[in-house]
Structure 1
Amino acid sequence: MVLKKIGRVAVMMEPEKLRYQEYEVPEPENGAVVLRVLRTNICGSELHIWKGLHPTKKRGVLGHEMIGELYAAGKGVETDYAGNPIKKGDRIVAAYYLTCRKCTPCKEGKFHLCEHAYDFWNQEPEKSPHFHGTFATHYYIHPNQYFYKVPDNVSDVSAASANCALSQVYFGIEKAQLTNNQSIIIQGAGGLGLNATAVAKEKGATVIVIDGVESRLEQAKQFGADYVLNFNDFETMDARTNAVLDLTGGKGAHVGMELSGNPAAFAEGIHFIRPGGKYVSIGNVTPGKFVEFDPGLLTRKSIQIIPLVRYDPWYLYKSLQFLSKNNEKYPFDKMLDAEFTLDEIKTALDKSAAREVTRATIVVNEKGIEEF
């Protein structure tokens, strides 16, 4: 009798309602890979979906920030996308979206805007290969989905955030062409903000971080922030703007990054940036939220706005190299402050949404459920 491996997926039936379903772990097709999930994080994107704020995703398997170990590789898969040989048991991280290389954005070199990015992610779990998200025991990596082997000196905790938070802000900072001796103001000291702080510091920039949670600001200092500003210490936007001007020689920052997800932060951000500066918008991902905005100020200051969704997939490899080089310099292993089991995903989501924890991670049981 053939032993069949059975895995589990956590399925959101509707916002804030979750149940678990079991499926046979599929054999990977040519060019595909199946991972056994070791650890998966709760990102702000999951919280938007969980609270019913995503414009299209209303049910299905969630989860995208993760690290897994190679369970099975399809025919023809002998290396990762950087050419490193892989074998069963190797630790792997993958970009959480497809890059078809055939659609109009891909043909224009804008891989992060692939029109088929979420073709698999939007599938219902009943549809093979079932394991479309990482809130599960296993995860199916499709052909044309970039993946990379994790360097030996990078821990599971550090690598688990690479395929979203670190890669996203790394992409944004390089799009803004931040250079040595420039200044950057980072709005939000969550996972994105902390990673951005470390990357910006390694670029040689002066880093200013603003947030309303003191514990986050203290953590930002550990990730290289030169200055931190507590939002609550200033009664008005003008007061916060003056504080930023005081730290930048009266000119404002060369680059700004909105990573808080608050529309009001986006409107405020242009006040912190000097004429001719650049403003990277990543945090606000939910359409339909509006805020008063001063377009005349934007024009007068000639600020370049750079909105970004996802990242070019090779930035995941760059992020792993960044971690390998700097994992002893910055406390990446301490970025995740709460651990839960696969059975506790609802609790982890609820606590994260209530801001009872900053960065939650799900440690998945290494042994899948088996049946004969």
Structure 2
Amino acid sequence: MFTGRIARFDAPNQPFTLTDATLDEVRPGEILIKVIRTNICGSDLHAWHGAFNTKGLGGQLPTVLGHEMVGKIAALGDGVSADSDSRPLQEGTRVVFPYFFSCHRCHYCLRGQRTACEQLSMAMLGNAEQPPHFVGGYGDYFLLPAGATLYQVPDSVPDELASGANCALSQVMYGLERANQTFGETVVVQGAGALGLYAVAVAKARGARTVIAIDGVAERLELATAFGADHVIDLTDVTEAKDRAKRVRSWTSGRGADVVVEVVGIPAAIDEGLKMLAMHGRYVEIGNINIGRTFDFDPSRFVFGNKTMIGVSLYEPDVLSRALAFLEEWQHKIPLSRLGAATYPLDQINDAFAAAESKRDVRASIVM
């Protein structure tokens, strides 16, 4: 029997309620995680406000938000002895894992498209009032279902870096992989929050000649430069979209960017980003997850420019293994540790969300 706290999410725009929950047993194939640290991701903020409709994805209320986490093995169900890279597991092993779980049997899973699983489930969607209760990252425990993908965290990678691997980092890695971004190309990143900063760093690691970051927060732009951006555009300085597009073209011999990555979450940013693309450019759309929001654009720009838009939701689970390898190699080359500087205990989760909402913290984390 395991007893721990959860920060229950009852309704949008309402404070979290800290309560105790009990798990009677860990069944065969399941893995109970003792959560160490869970970040506040942009989608957590959207869900908190009700803009990211968890109920529309099959979720229930009350639930437990939080998905960008790192933890240690608290208990292994029968039949589990190794991670997805065949490394042995035991109680106390530090691990990360995708926060979504595919069935491995449906039409899409069998085609290798597990992000489209017809039986997909994920953290933040379970009912916190029903067993196993520990259905999100903002709690002392999280229960992994049978068949879940997970990886050991290298000893050299600290918790504050590992906690972002299973969402922000893996997501942008997957997006840039799907865009086939490669050596000598120019990449524009719209937004320099955690996703954007990771996108800057990963694009550079993949051989981008020039990376341009766009944001309106001075600290984020300074961080983007530290993460490898060759140029930055301050929205408070260059206030017109047409002038921002001109800046991009001035830095790309008039051609525009080979790849543009959108991680702002504002529909209007898409039209602006498309205008920054070069001929045969690829637009990677990650940030707009709120259903029903629209924007106007001229589709002929796609046709005559032979351009491509790539929608990226989740990632193939094996990307997470590469994300850990990236952290292990690059943690001393770029200031990755600055992404996890602001920490709050679980009983201060409401203060943490307020800080994240106001952008007072580039990244806020809940530590157990």
**1:257-272 alignment, distance < 5 Å:** 257-272=261-276
Q: TM-score, normalised by structure 2?
A: 0.95
* Offset at residue 121 of structure 1 (A): 4.1
What secondary structure, in the 3-state scheme, does the structure 2 residue paired with 1:275 have? strand
What secondary structure, in the 3-state scheme, does the structure 2 residue paired with 1:335 have? helix
Match in the other structure for 1:13: 10
Q: TM-score, normalised by structure 1?
A: 0.94
Match in the other structure for 2:307: 303
Aligned mates of 2:216, 2:197 — CA distance in 1: 14
Aligned length: 361
What secondary structure, in the 3-state scheme, does the structure 2 residue paired with 1:276 have? strand
Match in the other structure for 2:183: 180
CA contact (8 A) 2:36 2:367 kept: yes
Which of 26, 29, 50 is residue 28 of structure 1 equivalent to?
Answer: 26
Tell me, yes or no, if structure 1 residue 232 matches structure 2 residue 229. Answer: no
Aligned mates of 1:292, 1:316 — CA distance in 2: 35
CA contact (8 A) 1:181 1:204 kept: yes
* Offset at residue 119 of structure 1 (A): 5.7
Deviation sequence 1:102-147 (CA, Å, 0-9, x none) = 2222122111122222266422112211111010000101112211
* Offset at residue 212 of structure 1 (A): 1.0
Question: Per chain length, whose mean CA-contact separation is higher, i.e. which structure has more relative contact order (CA < 8 Å, sep 6+)?
Answer: 1
Match in the other structure for 1:200: 203
Aligned mates of 1:37, 1:345 — CA distance in 2: 15
What secondary structure, in the 3-state scheme, does the structure 1 residue paired with 2:71 have? strand
Match in the other structure for 2:58: none
Q: 1:222 to 1:129 in 2, by over 3 A?
A: same
Tell me, yes or no, if structure 1 residue 162 matches structure 2 residue 159. Answer: no
Match in the other structure for 1:320: 324
* Offset at residue 302 of structure 1 (A): 1.7
Runs of at least 5 residues in structure 1 that lack an aligned partner in the other structure: 365-372
What secondary structure, in the 3-state scheme, does the structure 1 residue paired with 2:350 have? helix
Match in the other structure for 2:128: 125
Aligned mates of 1:116, 1:79 — CA distance in 2: 24
Which of 115, 118, 122 is residue 115 of structure 1 equivalent to?
Answer: 118
Tell me, yes or no, if structure 1 residue 209 matches structure 2 residue 206. Answer: no
Runs of at least 5 residues in structure 2 that lack an aligned partner in the other structure: 56-60
Deviation sequence 1:159-191 (CA, Å, 0-9, x none) = 000000000000000100011111100001001
Match in the other structure for 1:245: 249
Aligned mates of 1:8, 1:210 — CA distance in 2: 39
Aligned mates of 1:336, 1:119 — CA distance in 2: 23
In angstroms, what is the RMSD of aligned CA positions? Answer: 1.3
Deviation sequence 1:5-54 (CA, Å, 0-9, x none) = 31111111101222122122343221111011110000000000101112
Match in the other structure for 1:357: 361
CA contact (8 A) 1:183 1:248 kept: yes
Match in the other structure for 2:291: 287
Tell me, yes or no, if structure 1 residue 334 matches structure 2 residue 331. Answer: no
Aligned mates of 2:122, 2:140 — CA distance in 1: 21
* Offset at residue 229 of structure 1 (A): 1.1
